[in-house]
Structure 1
Amino acid sequence: MFIIKTLFSMSAFLYNNEAISNFLSILAIVFVFAIYYETTRIDAYKRLINSNYKKDLLYNEIHHRVKNNLNLVSSILAIQAEKEDEKTKNAIQASKNRIDAMAMVHSMLYVSNDLEKVNAKRFIEKLYLNIQSTISDRVKIVFKSQEIELSLNEVIPIGLIVNELVTNSIKYAFKDIKNPKIIIVLNSHKNNILLTYFDNGRGYNQKDTQNFGLKLVDLNVKQLKGTLKISHNHGLCYKIIYKRNAHV
């Protein structure tokens, strides 16, 4: 009985021109609204993609220009060093290496898919090989690192720290040392980054604390809001640890 009534009401609806007209009007409104909503959504999505693309292009251009400017300064220093005495030349070369370390960061960001982070393993490896090629290749450097992505606020201080320690070791630590070695280890545990640096050189000297490079190490550790521990047993060991939450 219920089915018969339902069929009757449907057939009555079909013969009611006003009801059909109202139904079609509502259907048309819903259809137009759906098309408008989808068109608006697609347009907004395209604008968002376009905006992100332009932002990425801008970031790329910034890193590219900073890299070029730093390379220009580095080249000027190299030219200037040729005219100076040995002591001044060494000081200029040290400054050039620091600038090269910063330029390397921007160079890696420029070609990276992520414009805000650098692969720490590749960066440090490239950095110490560059230092080694300009100072001495007789020192064996062992580097171990997890695959860690570091932000710009992390990687520049770490790069400068590694630059100073490697440079300082190669220049001053290995006098009369038969098999000079440097070990660098970078690890991440939970929310902490631990950088361990060791050389089997002549060990700790109180005068070393007055070295400008080591003062720069201390300054960069403070910039990371980290802690530095120095020990000397069959060489010299630096342990630097900091929390990532303030930098990412």
Structure 2
Amino acid sequence: MNSFINIEKKVYPDKPELVIEHMQSRLQSLADLHNQTYKNGDFEILNLKTNIENQDTALNNLLSENKDINFISNIEPDICLPISITTPIMLIINELTTNSIKHAFKNDENQEKIITKSAKLINNETCELIYTDNGKGIKKIENKEGHLGLNIIQSLTKQINGTLEINTPEKGSRFKIIFPIKEDTCDIQNNKFHN
């Protein structure tokens, strides 16, 4: 969180309210994650489907003014990850969702706004996460806020030794992240972000 604050203070020196809003969404995602941890009594392994569905509700309530985002999740129910991997994944989804709500759907009130997430195990050691929205597409997002979010997503993906693939279909944006699910194959100590 300290790294996030330091980055955004540099990018938005005259917009403290924006920094606070962004931090609220990240803290909400982490709070939901840790609430689920304590609720289940398992402080090491977390169910990805449960956490993503909880995050959808929280982010829609926090970030979407009209609560009009249609969240669709197709997450395999048996994907359970160490908290050291789940935490960056939830922060990645937080950044992607924030970018969609703030930029992809901006000034398009008549559009049906859809965010879809799917996740599946490729094998016993690898997971694939795909995030899509039907907004205006990432190529048209050329301001600092869009680039900052992408930088954070790339840093978080690198933290879990994942690979990030960004596609711009005819409508919207698509992000595919493939990452190892074993804690000992992830660089969990690399938790600083650079801009």
TM range (shorter): 0.7 to 0.9
Which residues of 2 match residues 50-61 of structure 1 at below 5 A? none
Q: Name the structure 2 match of 1:186.
A: 119
SS at match of 2:135: coil
**CA distances 1:53-82 after superposition (whole Å, capped 9, x unpaired):** xxxxxxxxxxxxxxxxx9xxxxxxxxxxxx
1:141 aligns with 2:75: no
Quick one: which amino acid aligns to residue 71 of structure 2? I
Quick one: which amino acid aligns to residue 121 of structure 1? K
Distance 2:90 2:158 in 1: 14
Residue 140 (structure 1) shift: 0.9
CA RMSD of superposed structures (Å):
2.4
Distance 2:135 2:126 in 1: 28
Q: Larger radius of gyration, structure 1 or 2?
A: 1
Residue 122 (structure 1) shift: 0.7
Which residues of 2 match residues 47-86 of structure 1 at below 5 A? none
SS at match of 1:178: coil
Q: Name the structure 2 match of 1:241.
A: 178
Say which structure, 1 or 2, has more relative contact order (CA 8 Å, 6+ apart): 2
Distance 2:129 2:158 in 1: 14
Paired residues of 2:29 and 2:58 also in contact (CA < 8 A): no
Q: Name the structure 2 match of 1:217.
A: 153
Bigger CA drift: 103-112 or 135-144? 103-112
Q: What residue ranges of structure 2 are gaps of 5+ in the alignment? A: 2-13, 189-195
Paired residues of 2:25 and 2:63 also in contact (CA < 8 A): no
Divergent runs of 4+, >4 A? none
Distance 2:53 2:17 in 1: 25
Residue 101 (structure 1) shift: 1.6
Q: What residue ranges of structure 1 are gaps of 5+ in the alignment? A: 1-69, 71-85
Percent identical residues: 30
Bigger strand share: 2
Paired residues of 2:72 and 2:115 also in contact (CA < 8 A): yes
Paired residues of 1:145 and 1:186 also in contact (CA < 8 A): yes
TM-score computed with the length of structure 1 as normaliser: 0.61
Distance 1:135 1:98 in 2: 11
1:129 aligns with 2:129: no
Distance 1:203 1:231 in 2: 9
1:202 aligns with 2:133: no
Count of residue correspondences:
166
1:231 aligns with 2:161: no
2:25 to 81, 86, 97: 97
Residue 114 (structure 1) shift: 2.5
Distance 1:109 1:179 in 2: 34
Residue 187 (structure 1) shift: 1.1
Paired residues of 1:188 and 1:194 also in contact (CA < 8 A): yes
Paired residues of 1:128 and 1:163 also in contact (CA < 8 A): no
Distance 2:17 2:89 in 1: 25
